Amino acid sequence: MPNVASVLKQEIQRLARKEAKAFTLPLKKALVAERKNVAALRRQVAALAKASGRAARSSAVVPLEAAASAAPKNWRKDTVRSTRKKLGLTQAQLAKLIGVSQITVSFWETGRSTPRAGAQVKVLAARKLSAAQALARVGGKAGRGRGPRRKAKGRKRAKKA
């Protein structure tokens, strides 16, 4: 026959677990609810950050004119490069001004791709800006440009006879 002391000890442990569970159950439910709230707030912050990034990128974009559906007639292959050089911008700055990526501007300049009609209109609209206005919209410094070439340091080669 089991010892009365061990049975009593087991019963006390069972009752203690039952009371502890009853005491902690509301806390567990509150914790689950707060974790859900935190997850929802994190999603909301991520969505706001994404929208803020989009708004920041689109604020520098040249406004699209009404006749954007038809391709401009005065478009040449070198229009993008000449516009960029006229404004004194880097490819990245022109890309920010127009609302595309820097690699897209590079592809346009090298002839790997051609801008769509809407982008062509934006480039032509940017062409009408002054260099100072373009820099103000982009919010940066003037393009880097190559500058004068420097002579290589080192020994001079002997002339062949």
Q: What is the mean pLDDT of the chain?
A: 83
* Chain centre distance of CA 152: 39
Distance CA 46, CA 54 (A): 12
pLDDT in tens, 75-100: 788 889 999 999 999 999 999 999 99
Which pLDDT does position 67 carry in this prediction?
42
What's the rounded Cα separation, in Å, for the pair 118 and 19? 70
| Residue that the structure tokens 């902690």 belong to | 24
CA distance 126 to 97: 8
> What is the per-residue pLDDT for 47?
93
Residue 10 vs residue 160, higher pLDDT: 10
Q: Mean pLDDT across the stretch 11-34?
A: 94
Q: What is the pLDDT of residue 52?
A: 85
- Longest CA–CA separation in the chain, Å: 119
pLDDT tens digits, 99-158: 999 999 999 999 899 899 889 999 989 989 988 889 888 887 665 555 445 555 666 666
Q: Is residue 62 predicted with pLDDT exceeding 60?
A: no
Whole-structure pTM value: 0.47
Distance between CA 92 and CA 106 in Å, rounded?
A: 9
More confident: 11 or 139: 11
What pLDDT does residue 151 have?
A: 59
Quote the tokens at residue 115.
């801008």
Please count the other Cβ atoms lying within 10 Å of the Cβ belonging to residue 152.
6
Output the pLDDT for position 76. Answer: 82
Mean pLDDT of 35-39: 97
